[in-house]
Structure 1
Amino acid sequence: MDSLSINSLLEDLKNPDVAIREQATKKLWRIWFQQKGIYGLERIDQSQKLLDAGEMNEAETMLTELIKDQPDFAEAWNRRAFLYYSMGNYQKSLADCQMVIQINPVHFGALHGMGLCYAALGRYGNAIKAFKRALDIQPYSLVNQKLILECTLRLS
């Protein structure tokens, strides 16, 4: 998909109509997951099945191999960041989220993940910045608005 279409979807995330925003969100996620075609999509799907089965090490190995094979596949980094977050390894998750943002600066999921990692590490100022960056892309995200408030309360 070309950048014009992606820019249009990003604009739709700012639309007051919830249906338009939800549709744009789904389309962006689909684009990100399908960035590397069937191969990448199947590997991510397999890693998710391993994660769901509680086979964390196997899922990590699969995602790490995918990242080595396709280092510019932002969603592979993002899925591994989610895995690390699920394991409570916030530093590793944060590092992977930062890689996602280097590859895809408008990846609101990774920005949200960065905020969650910073909050889990007690770095509430950094968490607020990450959630605000996510809100710049998805201004109607109630979860990020709520997390900003929670982090602000923890700072005071």
Structure 2
Amino acid sequence: MRLWPRLLNHIVAALLPLFLTCAVAFAEDQAKLDELFTRLKAAGEEEAGRIETEIWIEWSKSGSPAMDLLLQRGRDAMELGDSLQAIEHFTAIIDHAPDFAEAWNARATAYYMTGEFGPSIADIGKVLTLNPRHFGALSGLGMILEESGKPDRALEAYKAALAIHPHLQGAVEAVERLETQEEGQEL
């Protein structure tokens, strides 16, 4: 029985450098994202597009080559119009890496593409819990709310996305469209 505590000490000692490396990498990733979001707020429209791309690249890093491959396979399936296959790939990622927000976001998009708004909204909720700055998820929520006949709530979602990413093209256009509709109704 005395061997057990010593064995645990050796295991912890062996794994500690790995845990510390992961913690440092996570902190570096967060610092990079913080810097990108700061730049995004101040950027002009053209520069904002480049920064947005950098943010999406960072969000797409799961930390696991296997999960990254599944994410790419799911995205490829969506590009080919096979949303059901995409959902399977994204669900596999979520099963193994439930804290990977981009897998939830990708599955929310795939559900949206199949017209399954309920599961899409549920996944968007998880994305925003894991990553409150996810302007893509907020914009997607706006699209669903707008298509569901809830323009006031859609407008709120789009404006929340724009508070994070002031040049998010789809959201800018949606806000203009919905505000114009709202003004037309007041007359």
Equivalent in the alignment of 2:98: 71
Contact persistence 2:83–2:113 (CA under 8 A): no
Name the stretch that deviates more: 23-32 or 137-146.
137-146
Name the stretch that deviates more: 76-85 or 18-27.
18-27
- State the shift of 1:121 in Å: 0.8
Q: Which runs of 5+ in 1 are unaligned?
A: none
- State the shift of 1:154 in Å: 4.2
Name the stretch that deviates more: 106-115 or 5-14.
5-14
Equivalent in the alignment of 1:36: 63
Indicate whether 1:6 and 2:33 are aligned.
yes
**What letter is aligned with 1:123?**
K
Residue pairs, 1:53-68, within 5 angstroms: 53-68=80-95
Q: Aligned equivalents of 2:171 and 2:129: distance in 1?
A: 21
Q: Aligned equivalents of 2:78 and 2:45: distance in 1?
A: 31
- State the shift of 1:34 in Å: 0.8
Residue pairs, 1:85-104, within 5 angstroms: 85-104=112-131
- State the shift of 1:19 in Å: 4.2
User: What SS does the corresponding residue of 2:62 show, helix, strand or coil?
Assistant: coil
User: How many percent of aligned residue pairs carry the same amino acid?
Assistant: 28
- Using the size of structure 1 for normalisation, the TM-score is 0.90
Q: Aligned equivalents of 1:69 and 1:10: distance in 2?
A: 28
Moved beyond 6 Å, runs of 4+: none
**What letter is aligned with 1:21?**
A
Q: Aligned equivalents of 2:105 and 2:158: distance in 1?
A: 16
Name the stretch that deviates more: 38-47 or 97-106.
38-47
- State the shift of 1:81 in Å: 0.8
Name the stretch that deviates more: 128-137 or 18-27.
18-27
Relative contact order, CA 8 A, sep 6+: which one is greater? 1
**What letter is aligned with 1:38?**
P
User: What SS does the corresponding residue of 1:14 show, helix, strand or coil?
Assistant: helix
Q: Aligned equivalents of 1:59 and 1:67: distance in 2?
A: 12
Name the stretch that deviates more: 137-146 or 98-107.
137-146
Contact persistence 1:115–1:130 (CA under 8 A): yes
User: What SS does the corresponding residue of 1:59 show, helix, strand or coil?
Assistant: helix
**What letter is aligned with 1:56?**
S
Q: Which runs of 5+ in 2 are unaligned?
A: 1-27
Q: Aligned equivalents of 2:90 and 2:168: distance in 1?
A: 28
Indicate whether 1:25 and 2:52 are aligned.
yes
User: Which structure's CA Rg is the greater one?
Assistant: 2
Root-mean-square deviation (Å): 1.7
**What letter is aligned with 1:79?**
A
**What letter is aligned with 1:150?**
R
Equivalent in the alignment of 2:21: none
Q: Aligned equivalents of 2:152 and 2:44: distance in 1?
A: 31
